[in-house]
Structure 1
Amino acid sequence: MAEAHQAVGFRPSLTSDGAEVELSAPVLQEIYLSGLRSWKRHLSRFWNDFLTGVSPASPLSWLFLFSAIQLAWFLQLDPSLGLMEKIKELLPDWGGQHHGLRGVLAAALFASCLWGALIFTLHVALRLLLSYHGWLLEPHGAMSSPTKTWLALVRIFSGRHPMLFSYQRSLPRQPVPSVQDTVRKYLESVRPVLSDEDFDWTAVLAQEFLRLQASLLQWYLRLKSWWASNYVSDWWEEFVYLRSRNPLMVNSNYYMMDFLYVTPTPLQAARAGNAVHALLLYRHRLNRQEIPPTLLMGMRPLCSAQYEKIFNTTRIPGVQKDYIRHLHDSQHVAVFHRGRFFRMGTHSRNSLLSPRALEQQFQRILDDPSPACPHEEHLAALTAAPRGTWAQVRTSLKTQAAEALEAVEGAAFFVSLDAEPAGLTREDPAASLDAYAHALLAGRGHDRWFDKSFTLIVFSNGKLGLSVEHSWADCPISGHMWEFTLATECFQLGYSTDGHCKGHPDPTLPQPQRLQWDLPDQIHSSISLALRGAKILSENVDCHVVPFSLFGKSFIRRCHLSSDSFIQIALQLAHFRDRGQFCLTYESAMTRLFLEGRTETVRSCTREACNFVRAMEDKEKTVHSEQWQLSTSQIPVQQMHLFDVHNYPDYVSSGGGFGPADDHGYGVSYIFMGDGMITFHISSKKSSTKTDSHRLGQHIEDALLDVASLFQAGQHFKRRFRGSGKENSRHRCGFLSRQTGASKASMTSTDF
C-alpha cells in the first residue's frame, strides 16, 4: 500500500564497479540493537506473555499436575523416580522443622519443571507443524492426506480456545532466502519493464553483486535472523516509515470507509458516541486478549504482534527519524471541531461511559459556541508538514503548550467532528463518492492529527471514516478493528427510533475540557507554511471510487481462478490501455505466517501477465471466446460472520484507499464486498499529464468485462454492460440498483 511510496525513494548506488555497499561496525551494532529492541519488547509484556506463553496449557493445568503428584506421593508412589527426594535434600531443613513443607515444596518444584518441559515440547512440536506450507500449494477445494493429518495435529496441539497471542511462541521465524534466488527473482521481475540493453546492464551488475558483496550481506542477515525475532520487520518499520521525511498525509496514511449505501443515523453526536464506544469495547477485548487469533482457512494462525499498538499510540516526529510512542492505557480521546481541541473522558469511576453518555459529551462539543483562538484552527496542519519541520516546531510547542500537546498525543485516538456532510448521494453519486474518499484521505489539511495511530472522522450527516497512520501496523489490523466497530455499533448497540444512542444521558458528567494552546509567535509562520503545503498536496490528489457490481468473487470462483489473480491481471490490462506500456507494479503481501512478520512485495507485472495483455490487445489472436507506477493492494474482509450479507447486503465494508506511490503513477486498492461486488479506490496526482483516476477507472471496468468474457459463464456480462450504455453505467449498477437492497434494512438510510 502506502509503503510503496517510500520504497520509490530507496535506490542502491550502482556504478560500473557494481553495487556500492558500506560494511562496517555500525552494521553489527544495528543488528545488536534490533535484537535488543526485541528483548525489551518481550520483557515489557512479561505477564501477558506468561499467560499466553503457556498455551495450550494453563495455570490450572499446573495445579492439576501438582495435585496428581501429591496424590501419588500420599499413596506412596514416586512419579519422579527419586528426583523429589534429591530436591528435598537440596532445600534447607530449617532446623529439622517443617518436614512436610519441604515435601510440598519439592513436589511443587518438580511439577513446575515437568510442566515447563511439557509446554516447551508442545511449543516445539507446534512450531514444527506450523513450518509446513504444503497446504498453500494444493488446489482450492481439495486436501491431500498429509495436509489432513497436519491439520488434525495442529488442532490438537493448539488447544481448544486459543487467545490472541497464544501462538506467538510457536510461530516459525521468517527464513532468509538464498541470495541467488533473490537476485534471480529480481531480474525476472524487472525484465518486462526494461529494454534489452538496460536489462543486460542490470544483469551484469547483479552478477557483480553476487561475486563481491552478496556473501557478506547474506551472513549479516543470517546473523540477525538468529538473534532478532524477525530479520526484516524492524528495518522495514524504520527505513520505509520512520526515516522518511515526507509528509504523512497522502504519502503514507490510508483511509477506511463507512458502509457505502446506508447511514444508521443522521445524528453526528449519536454516531460518534456509538462508534467510540464500539472502538473502546474492541480495546477492552484486545487488552484481555479475547480477540481470536486470525486463522488462514480456519487452520493456520497469523502473527498477532501488530495488534498491540492500535490504541494509545502516536508517531512522534524527529529531525532525522521518527519514533513510535505507545502508552499502556489512556482514558480519554482528543476531539477536534471547528478549529477547537477538546479532551473528552471515556470512562466514569468504574467503567466505560455508555454510548448515550458519550453522545451527550459529543453534543456538548458541537454546541460549544466558543471560537478558535488565533492559529489554533490550523495547528494540526503541522502534522501534515515534512517531518523534520514538524519536529523542530514541536520542540517549541512542547515547551509552551505541554499539557495540551500531551492531551492529544496521549489520547486513545483522535476524533474529528467535521462540519460538512459526506458520503454517497443520489444527485451526483460519482462526484460525491470521490469527494468522500478525498475527505478521508486528506481532509482540509488541518483537521486531522496525522501522527495518531488513527483518526475517527464523523461527518455532519452521521457518515464515518478512518484516517490511519501506517508505521505502527498494516491495513488488515486496522481493517479487523473497523469491521468489529461497524458491526457492533449497528447490530449490537443500535439506535433508538429517533436516531439517538440507546440509554439515558448522564447530566452529572463534567464538560469536555477545552484545550488551551499557548502558541509562541515564532511558530505562527510555521503553521501558515504547513497549511499552504498541506492544501497544495491535498488539492493535487485525484481520488476516484468505482463500485463494480456486475460480478464479484462468486463468479471468479466459478471460473476456478484466484480472485486476486483475476483482479491483478485485469489491472495490468487496464493500465496498459491507459498508458500504452508496462510498469513495475507493487502489490502488498503479508508475511504474518512468521513471527512479527509485516509486509512484502509481490511484483505482479510478470512476463506471463505481459504476454496475456499483448494477446488481449492483438486483434489477430483467437482466444477461448523502475518506479512503482502502479501500487496495488487488496483489503481483506476478515470477519464475515459479523455481517448478514443476505438479509442486509448493504451493511458491508466498502474498504478504503491510499495515495499514489509516484507522481506519475496510480494507487489502486480493491475490496470484494460480499460475493457480487468489487469496489476499487483509485488515486493519482492531478499535476501529472500522464494519469487520470477516472480514465483508469473506466479501463478497469472494461478490462474486468473483457477478462470475464474469456469464460463462457461471463460473456453475458459484457453484453449487459454494453447494452445499458457506458454513461453513468457504473453508478447505475453500483448505486441505484442497491436501493432495493437498502429497503430491506431495518435501519434508516439517510443518504437517500
Structure 2
Amino acid sequence: MYQFQESLPKLPLPKLSDTCARYIEMVTPLLSDTELERTKTAVREFQQGSGVELQKQLEMIDRSTNTNYLQQFKEETYLEMRSSQLNMRSTGVASPVLTTSKYSFTRIVAIIIFNTLQFHLKIKYRELEPDRDVFQRNKPPLCMAQYDNLFGSARIPGIKCDSFQRAKNSEHIVVIRRDTFYVLKLLPGDTLPSVEAVAQQIDWILENTHPGELPVGVLTSLPREQWATVRSYLTNLDAENACSLELLDSALFVVCLDEITPPDLERLARTAFTGDGARNRWFDKPIRLVFNSEGQFAVTIEHSNVDGYPVARLISEVNRELEPLEESLTSSSSVELEPPQRLCWKLDRTLKEEVAQALTDAERLSEQIQMGIIIFDEFGSDFIQQHGLIADAVFLLSLQIAYTRLHGKITTSAWQAVHNRTFRYGRHDYALVVTPESVELIQAFTEGASDEVRYRTLKRAVNAHLWRVFNTKNGQGVVMHLYALYNLARYKGSSVLDIFQDKTFEEVILDPSFSASALSNKMGVEIACPSPCRDYGIGYVIDRNKITFAVTSKHLQPEDFIALVKQCLSEIGKLLIEQRHPDSNIRIHSSPQ
C-alpha cells in the first residue's frame, strides 16, 4: 500500500510571480477594462510588497514540514468552520448491485458491512493496492495517506476550532435505527465474522427497535461552537453519556438504517445528503453508510481529513457480491459475536430543549438545499472520445454555456476540483475553468455562430481547459496558493491587503459561482455541497454511455439549470456528428420526452 509513498515528490510551492501572472491571465476575460486595471494594480503592489514576506513564510513552512505547505491550511479551513455541518459534506450514492429481488435486506446490509470491514483490514495491514492515476499514460502511483483517516476517526467540536481524532485498534461499529444507537463489536482481534452472524445482529436491531427515541444525534448538526458547549455539558452530566460518546468517537464507522419513502435512489441521495432533518444521524464521523429499505446505500463524507477519491474507491470495492472463496471463508468463521449493545443517554430538561431546538433548526437547514438529479443518456465518454475530445472538459464547458444562457452573463468564477495526489500528502486544488477560449465558445453558442465556428472554438476550449487542469494537477494551481497567502495574512492579524479586498479576489477565490467535482463511474451519482459557492454545487459521474449529474443550491432552483445543461450537451453531440460526418444520417440516442 505504501511501497511508493516515500518516492513520491513533495507538492511544489509555486513562485509568487508565477501565481500572480496566472491569476491575472485567468481573470482577464472576466473583467471590464476598469476592473482589470484595478486588479492588476492590487496584484502588482502585493507581488512587490507584502506578498514577498508572506511567500517567504510559506517557504519556511514548506521546508519545515514533511507534508506540504498546504496541509495545515486545508485541515484548518475545514475544522475552523463554525456553521452547522448538516449540508457541508459530499455524498456518493452507490449504483445498485445487491438487490432485494435476490437478497434479503439484512443480508445486503451484512454483506456491505463485511466488505467494508475487509477494506479496513486491508488498510490496517497495508495490503491495499496503491491507487494510480489512470488518466496519465504511465499511470503513476498516488498518495495513500488519506486512507488512514477513513476508519475509527471522529471530528470533535471545539469553541474556536474542531479537532480530528483517530482511535487505535477499534473493533466495533455503530448502527443507528430510529434514532437508537447500537454498538456491534464485529472485529474481535481483527478476525472477520461470518456474514450470517452480522445479518443476525441487524435482524435483532430491526426487530427490537421501536419508534419514539429522542434523536440525540441531531445535536451534531448544531453550529460547532454550540455543539462543543452542549457536548461538554452532555459528557459531564452522566458517566453513561461520556461512555456513549467515546464509543461513537472510536467506532470504525457508522451505519444508518433509514425508513425513507419512496425507497428509490433519488430519495436516498436527498436524505443522505441533507440528513433527513438530522434524524438517525451522527455527523461527526468521516464515513457514514446510509441504507434505505431496499438495501440501496450512500456514503457521506466529512471532508476535514478525507477527500472524495478514497471514498469512491471504498464504494467501488464494497459494493459487490461475495466471491465464492469469501463465501466459504465467511461461512466457516468461528467468531462468536457479542449481542448488540444499546448506547444509553441521560438527558435533563436543558438537553431535551437543546434537542428540540436542534430538530427545528435542522429541518430548516435541510429545506434550504434544493437538489436536482438527472441521467443524460444520449451519450457518454465513448462518443466524445471517438471525436477526439475529452468528456470531462466537454461537460465543464457545457456547464459554462448553460450558466450564461440561464443567468444572462458569463460566470465570474467556476471551479473544478482536481486532485494532486501524485505528490506525497497531496489532496486537491481547484482549477479555474473559465478561460479566454471558453468565453469564445460561450459567445459562439449564444450568438448564433455557424457550426464550423462552434466546432473550431469547442476544440480550442477543450485544449485550454485540459491545460488549466494539467497545471493545477501538477502543483501549479492558483486557488490554493492564493488562499494560503490570504490565510497567512489573516492569521498574522495585519491590515487587510488591497489584493484580498479586491472584488475580483472575493468572487474568484472566496466565492465562486459554481464548483464541480467528479468521482468514479462505479458510483451512481455524487452529490456535491453548494458551499462555498454562490450558486451551484455540481457532482457528476461520466460513464461510457451516459452522464449522471446532481446540482445543489442554497437559494436557486436547479431544474432550469439542469435542463439547459442537457440542452447544451445535446447541441454539442449533434455538432460533433455533423462536423465529422456532414452528410451522414447518424443520430445520437435521444431520451423519450
> Is 2:550 the counterpart of 1:681?
yes
Indicate the residue corresponding to 1:629 in structure 2.
513
Indicate the residue corresponding to 1:483 in structure 2.
316
Conserved? CA contact 2:193–2:337, under 8 Å: no
Helix, strand or coil: the match of 1:420? coil
Conserved? CA contact 1:192–1:606, under 8 Å: yes
- State the one-letter code of the partner of 1:676: N
- State the one-letter code of the partner of 1:629: S
1:208/1:351 CA distance change after superposition, 3 Å = same
- Tell me the distance in 2 between the aligned counterparts of 1:508 and 1:179: 60
- Tell me the distance in 2 between the aligned counterparts of 1:553 and 1:670: 13
Conserved? CA contact 2:379–2:589, under 8 Å: no
- Tell me the distance in 1 between the aligned counterparts of 2:258 and 2:308: 24
Shift of 1:717: 10
- State the one-letter code of the partner of 1:462: G
Helix, strand or coil: the match of 2:57? helix
Shift of 1:524: 2.1
1:338/1:718 CA distance change after superposition, 3 Å = farther
1:328/1:573 CA distance change after superposition, 3 Å = same
- Tell me the distance in 2 between the aligned counterparts of 1:492 and 1:395: 48
> Is 2:156 the counterpart of 1:316?
yes
- Tell me the distance in 2 between the aligned counterparts of 1:714 and 1:384: 55
Q: How does 1:130-529 map to 2 (within 5 A)?
A: 164-251=1-88, 253-260=89-96, 263=99, 265=102, 267-297=104-134, 299-348=139-188, 351-370=191-210, 372-373=212-213, 377-399=214-236, 400=238, 401-421=241-261, 423-424=263-264, 433-444=265-276, 445-487=278-320, 489=321, 503=331, 509-529=337-357
Conserved? CA contact 1:340–1:372, under 8 Å: no
1:472/1:620 CA distance change after superposition, 3 Å = closer
Shift of 1:588: 0.6
Deviations 1:536-585 (A, max 9, x none): 11112112111112111111111111222111111111111221212210
Indicate the residue corresponding to 1:546 in structure 2.
374
- Tell me the distance in 2 between the aligned counterparts of 1:219 and 1:263: 57
Conserved? CA contact 1:250–1:658, under 8 Å: no
Shift of 1:492: 6.0
Indicate the residue corresponding to 1:575 in structure 2.
403
Q: How does 1:620-699 map to 2 (within 5 A)?
A: 620-623=449-452, 626=507, 627-637=511-521, 652-661=522-531, 664-673=534-543, 675-685=544-554, 688=555, 691-699=556-564
- State the one-letter code of the partner of 1:588: A
Shift of 1:422: 5.3
Indicate the residue corresponding to 2:433 in structure 1.
604
Runs of 5+ in structure 2 lacking a partner?
A: 456-506
Deviations 1:509-542 (A, max 9, x none): 4421111101233222222222111111111211
Conserved? CA contact 1:591–1:599, under 8 Å: yes
Helix, strand or coil: the match of 1:594? coil
- Tell me the distance in 2 between the aligned counterparts of 1:621 and 1:292: 49
1:495/1:528 CA distance change after superposition, 3 Å = farther
- State the one-letter code of the partner of 1:439: T
Indicate the residue corresponding to 1:101 in structure 2.
none
Conserved? CA contact 1:318–1:388, under 8 Å: yes
- State the one-letter code of the partner of 1:284: L
1:503/1:422 CA distance change after superposition, 3 Å = farther
- Tell me the distance in 2 between the aligned counterparts of 1:282 and 1:397: 34
- Tell me the distance in 2 between the aligned counterparts of 1:495 and 1:421: 32
Deviations 1:569-622 (A, max 9, x none): 111111112212122101111111111111111000112111111111112445
With CA pairs under 8 Å and 6+ residues apart, which has the higher RCO, 1 or 2? 2
Conserved? CA contact 1:420–1:459, under 8 Å: yes
Conserved? CA contact 2:420–2:429, under 8 Å: yes
Helix, strand or coil: the match of 1:336? strand
1:658/1:350 CA distance change after superposition, 3 Å = closer
Would you say how many aligned residue pairs link Structure 1 and Structure 2?
526
- State the one-letter code of the partner of 1:552: G
Q: What TM-score comes out, normalization by structure 2 length?
A: 0.83
Indicate the residue corresponding to 1:701 in structure 2.
566
- State the one-letter code of the partner of 1:438: R
1:540/1:658 CA distance change after superposition, 3 Å = same
Shift of 1:258: 2.0
571, 576, 582: which one aligns with 1:711: 576
Deviates more, 1:707-716 or 1:659-668: 707-716
Shift of 1:245: 0.7
RMSD: 2.6
Helix, strand or coil: the match of 2:524? coil
Deviations 1:92-145 (A, max 9, x none): xxxxxxxxxxxxxxxxxxxxxxxxxxxxxxxxxxxxxxxxxxxxxxxxxxxxxx
Indicate the residue corresponding to 1:76 in structure 2.
none
- State the one-letter code of the partner of 1:684: S
Helix, strand or coil: the match of 1:301? coil
1:672/1:578 CA distance change after superposition, 3 Å = same
- State the one-letter code of the partner of 1:258: A
Conserved? CA contact 2:108–2:295, under 8 Å: yes
- Tell me the distance in 1 between the aligned counterparts of 2:232 and 2:268: 34
1:718/1:312 CA distance change after superposition, 3 Å = farther
> Is 2:588 the counterpart of 1:588?
no
Q: Which structure has the greater CA radius of gyration?
A: 1
Helix, strand or coil: the match of 1:333? strand
- Tell me the distance in 1 between the aligned counterparts of 2:104 and 2:562: 33
Q: What TM-score comes out, normalization by structure 1 length?
A: 0.66
Shift of 1:370: 4.9
Conserved? CA contact 2:114–2:195, under 8 Å: yes
Conserved? CA contact 1:586–1:601, under 8 Å: yes
Deviations 1:400-452 (A, max 9, x none): 2101111111111011111235554xxxxxxxx43222111013212221110
- State the one-letter code of the partner of 1:559: H
Shift of 1:173: 1.0
- Tell me the distance in 2 between the aligned counterparts of 1:391 and 1:353: 36
- State the one-letter code of the partner of 1:303: C
